[in-house]
Amino acid sequence: QAEVGKPQRNCYPLPGFDFAYGLYIPRTDGGVPGAICHWETVKPSTGLVQKMPRDFITMNRGALKAGYTTAHEFNLYYKAKDIRRKDDDYSRFKRTPPSVPAGMTYGISTRPCTPFFDLLQHRYKELWMEQQRALTAALRAEKKKKGKVHETRTTLLRKVPLPAKEESFWHLPRLEKV
């Protein structure tokens, strides 16, 4: 029953001080004494060696050298000579890696460092301003070259006179007797 004269509680009573919340997982690693005395190392698994896939290129070559031509003969040859691909550990590249010079490094070379002294002195701004000044001076010089007067047909005719008009000796045939 509810307590008389007091509001009804809307929560549950908590368990005692000896109660542990969550799941209890017993320690299996030995704790600090186990770490100090000996390390628990994982032992490599020796089972489940993966079987390498068949090397069909070598088997086909051997079947052709043996004189087999039909699919049935090829299947019989595959059962008789089960050749598997070699592991990558035995590959030629891993056995004899390519010889490279001692000082060679792979990859892209790093960019040279930015000279902070030039940044602080605004050197890049000055270089840009010099380039702009040179560009405007070149444009002005080109405009001065273009400032010549354009020659018209009249000025060209004054310089080079027209060739003298040759007199034509040809006449109409009916006017020859006149």
Q: Judge whether 83 and 58 are in contact, CB under 8 Å.
A: yes
Structural domain span for residue 55: 51-84
With respect to residue 70, please indicate whether it lies within any of the assigned structural domains.
yes
The total number of structural domains that make up the chain: 2
Q: In 10 A of CB 2, how many CB atoms?
A: 8
pLDDT at 1: 67
Q: Report residue 18 as tokens.
A: 């000896």
* CB-facing half-sphere around the CA of 144: CA atoms within 13 A: 6
Q: In 10 A of CB 62, how many CB atoms?
A: 16
pTM attached to this predicted model: 0.27
With respect to residue 125, please indicate whether it lies within any of the assigned structural domains.
yes
With respect to residue 55, please indicate whether it lies within any of the assigned structural domains.
yes
Q: Report residue 154 as tokens.
A: 């009249």
With respect to residue 92, please indicate whether it lies within any of the assigned structural domains.
no
Phi, psi of 156 (to 5 degrees): -65, -40
With respect to residue 60, please indicate whether it lies within any of the assigned structural domains.
yes
Of the three residues 84, 100, 126, the one that is the final residue of a domain is 84
* CB-facing half-sphere around the CA of 138: CA atoms within 13 A: 6
Task: Tell me how far CA of residue 32 lies from CA of 27, 36, 37, 43, in angstroms.
Answer: 11, 6, 9, 21
With respect to residue 136, please indicate whether it lies within any of the assigned structural domains.
yes
Task: Render each residue's pLDDT in the chain as its tens digit; 178 residues.
Answer: 667 888 777 788 888 888 878 877 776 667 777 777 776 666 766 655 667 888 999 999 999 999 999 999 999 999 999 888 877 666 666 667 677 788 887 788 888 888 888 888 888 899 999 999 999 999 999 888 876 677 888 888 888 877 787 777 777 777 776 6
With respect to residue 139, please indicate whether it lies within any of the assigned structural domains.
yes
Of the three residues 84, 105, 136, the one that is the final residue of a domain is 84
168, amino acid identity = S
